[in-house]
Amino acid sequence: MNRNHLLRIFVLAILSLSFFGATAQSRLDKQVLMTIGDEPVTVKEFTDVYNKNNNREDIVEKKSVDEYLDLFVNFRMKVMEAYEMKLDTSAKFKKELEGYRKQLAKPYFANDEVSEELVEEAYQRKLKDIRASHILMRCDKHASPADTLRIYNKLMDIRKRAMKGEDFGTLAVQFSQDPSARDIAATDNTPFRKGNRGDLGYFTVFDMVYPFETGAYNTKEGEISMPIRTDYGYHLIKVNSITDALGSIRAAHIFLQVPPDASEEEVMNAKNKADNIYNELVQNDGKNWKEAVKNYTDDQGTKNREGSLSPFTVQRIVPEFIDALKQLQPEEFSKPIRTNYGFHIVKLISASGVGSFEKEKKGIAERVEKDMRAKKTEEMALRQIKEEYGFKSYDKNLNAFMETVDSTILAAKYVPAERVKMDASLFRIGESTITVSNFVDYIKAKATVQKYVTPVTYAYQLYDAYQNQTIMDYADAHLEEKYPEFKLLVQEYNDGILLFDLMEKEVWKKAIVDTAGLQAFYSRNANKYMWGERVKASVITVSFPESLPKVKSYLEQGIPFDSLQKQIDRDSLRYVHVHNGYYQRGDNRYVDQTEWQPGVMTEFTSTVDQATNIVNILEVRQPEPKTLREAKGLVTADYQAELEEQWMNKLHSKYPVKINEKVLDKVRKLYQ
């Protein structure tokens, strides 16, 4: 017994008990709660939006009816103003809304039985991470049978060589038409890139196109698949490992960058530094991880986050990184590993793994709907739509038309023969009848040049696509009348897009374009945007000790700090960098450790490498307002808030609000 049947029984059982309450609720729903300008708003219009937005799981603090009423009124006013300005008539708006509507409509064309099978299959695959390599031979999806067989056989020959023991990576470099398999030489615009020898790294469900994914998951660890066909061509897949899935990963690293063109000496220095950092971590049981990241990592994006990377999945990062993580328990860190980017010490923070089927089901179902495997459900949906709307095909007329098709269709210059009956019916769906003339228009619009098929074969390919599209379009056009909840959802997106466009026009862009107004706002509020105590300092980093005596001699000679980098460059000193700038507490650990008095100079020698940092305090500045340029982001945001407040006051005058207090009191009681 399915869910819908059980629901019908339940509704019948309680109908007699709830009839009078439902009738009363229905009467209340129709009552006018308020008018905004000249537009009445019913109780149902308000409560539908209130219930949807106030009962979401991510709401931390639910709003009362009165609190939400103000938000609702402001929202409706803005939407009314958008219609008044005819923003709904723009091509941009219509295109964006149509894009959202297509996405929202997809679930209504899914077959539940097929979807459940696909969801279960995807869940089982999600439990494992696969590392695989491939060899690709490209093959056009419209290639002739002879060309398809030739490519298939060529790949089978390569497979035989691999099965006899030839190295799969070497074969990938030699034969694969995936350019990432081979090294790519450096150019003026791009650095050298090392080839992956066919190694795709780690992936899990949804990371690859569905046929490739299926081929990989149906191949045992250490084995090579038969040729797998995708839209890209044919693939041989070698599964290198199958391991339990890590899921969503949170990790941190200490990163030492090594340029692609680094010398052996530079690589060895970086390796030694990484080993020293690792040894220091081990000696302290990792308790100094935060300090080690701050002191040594070259990853500026994670430096102030204890090396923490944004959450990622196995397919999003180099396989060496994943190999290391799979050997760790939470809070453990790895020995230094080498990637194409440099050396990393990797720390596992957490790995979500995969939850129970019930927990994962909703998210997987959403992915299935967007994935190419959803074509299976679309095929079932087509059959259901045909049955529901009384589809009828006029095969005799179709066959008569196909007999007239000539080679002009293959050149994308189709001209129908004179004997073609343009008004002959091809099929009927619901109240629409499709004629030969309609299909001819489609051919002229969609046909492309073809080399490997006969005119009739190509015409039937186009006809199948046209028929399917027409059937789906017909059902799609009737969604709003068939599903009221879909109509409401589309309306929400409609209003949301209008609101965004309106805010951009009336508030966000105004704050950016109105430079005089922004300057005036800043002048009135400058004391809100303050610097803390700062110093102007020069920080000199000397990475190799050979250069240190020369740098110290410059300082003894009194060379101005503003000119120091130029002198260093003239003397071709290696790995010396001078940075002059303003620092607040926390911006630089060496500056923090230096006494903040003009003229104070302090030297810091690293404990893990050969680097020395010299800090000289040039000037101490007390708290002072930031300039408009320095605080522009914050000032602009605050100015936008002021503009919006002024604009909303005008809208309240333009669209006066009248609340029916008696009806509002009834609504309040519903949510007490």
What is the average per-residue pLDDT within 633-645? 94
Q: What is the mean pLDDT of the chain?
A: 89
Tell me which residue of 518, 516, 569, 515 sits closest to 547, measured CA to CA.
Answer: 569
How far is CA 160 from its chain centroid? Answer: 40
Size of the chain, expressed as the number of residues it contains: 672
Query: By CB neighbour count within 10 A (0-12 exposed, 13-18 middle, 19+ buried), where does 653 fall?
Result: exposed
Cβ-contact 215, 328 below 8 angstroms: no
Q: Is the pLDDT of residue 102 over 70?
A: yes
Per-residue pLDDT, 5: 45
Tell me which residue of 238, 229, 237, 239 sits closest to 138, measured CA to CA.
Answer: 229
pLDDT band at 379 (very low <50, low <70, confident <90, very high): confident
Q: Which amino acid is at 446?
A: K
Least confident of 284-288, 574-578, 615-619: 574-578
Tell me which residue of 376, 362, 322 sits closest to 211, measured CA to CA.
Answer: 376
What is the average per-residue pLDDT within 60-79? 83
* Cα 433 to Cα 260: distance, rounded to the nearest angstrom: 64
Q: Is the pLDDT of residue 400 over 90?
A: yes
Per-residue pLDDT, 142: 60
Per-residue pLDDT, 282: 95
Phi, psi dihedrals of residue 230, rounded to the nearest 5°: -130, 180
Q: Is the pLDDT of residue 626 over 70?
A: yes
- Non-local CB neighbours of 276 within 8 Å, separated by 6+ positions: 607, 608, 609
> Do the domains 530-625 and 249-351 match in fold?
yes
- Non-local CB neighbours of 581 within 8 Å, separated by 6+ positions: 536, 537
* pLDDT tens figures, 334-361: 999 999 899 999 999 999 999 999 999 9
pTM for this one? 0.54
pLDDT band at 12 (very low <50, low <70, confident <90, very high): very low
Q: Is the pLDDT of residue 595 over 60?
A: yes
Least confident of 60-74, 248-262, 382-396: 60-74
Percent of the chain with pLDDT over 90: 69
CATH number for the domain formed by residue range(s) 128-244 = 3.10.50.40
* Cα 96 to Cα 269: distance, rounded to the nearest angstrom: 54
Question: In the chain, what are the domain boundaries?
Answer: 3-106, 128-244, 249-351, 389-477, 530-625
Per-residue pLDDT, 24: 57
Cβ-contact 274, 282 below 8 angstroms: no
* Cα 298 to Cα 307: distance, rounded to the nearest angstrom: 10
What is the average per-residue pLDDT within 428-446? 96
* Cα 409 to Cα 439: distance, rounded to the nearest angstrom: 13
Q: Is the pLDDT of residue 667 over 80?
A: yes
* pLDDT tens figures, 499-551: 999 999 889 988 889 999 999 999 999 999 999 999 999 999 998 888 899 99
What is the average per-residue pLDDT within 53-57? 60
- Give the other-Cβ count within 10 Å of 588's Cβ: 18
Per-residue pLDDT, 61: 52
Which CATH code, of 3.90.220, 3.10.50, 1.10.3470, 3.30.70, is assigned to 530-625? 3.10.50
Question: Higher pLDDT residue, 417 or 57?
Answer: 417
Per-residue pLDDT, 11: 36
Least confident of 283-292, 564-573, 649-658: 564-573
Q: Is the pLDDT of residue 15 over 70?
A: no
pLDDT band at 16 (very low <50, low <70, confident <90, very high): very low
- Non-local CB neighbours of 101 within 8 Å, separated by 6+ positions: 490, 493
Q: Is the pLDDT of residue 318 over 90?
A: yes
Topology of 249-351 in CATH?
Chitinase A; domain 3 (3.10.50)
Per-residue pLDDT, 419: 93
Per-residue pLDDT, 14: 34
Q: Is the pLDDT of residue 218 over 80?
A: yes
pLDDT band at 140 (very low <50, low <70, confident <90, very high): confident
Q: Which helix (H) or strand (E) is 568 found in, with range?
A: helix 561-570
Tell me which residue of 79, 46, 366 sits closest to 206, measured CA to CA.
Answer: 366
pLDDT band at 115 (very low <50, low <70, confident <90, very high): confident
The first and second tokens of residue 116, run together, are: 């459940």
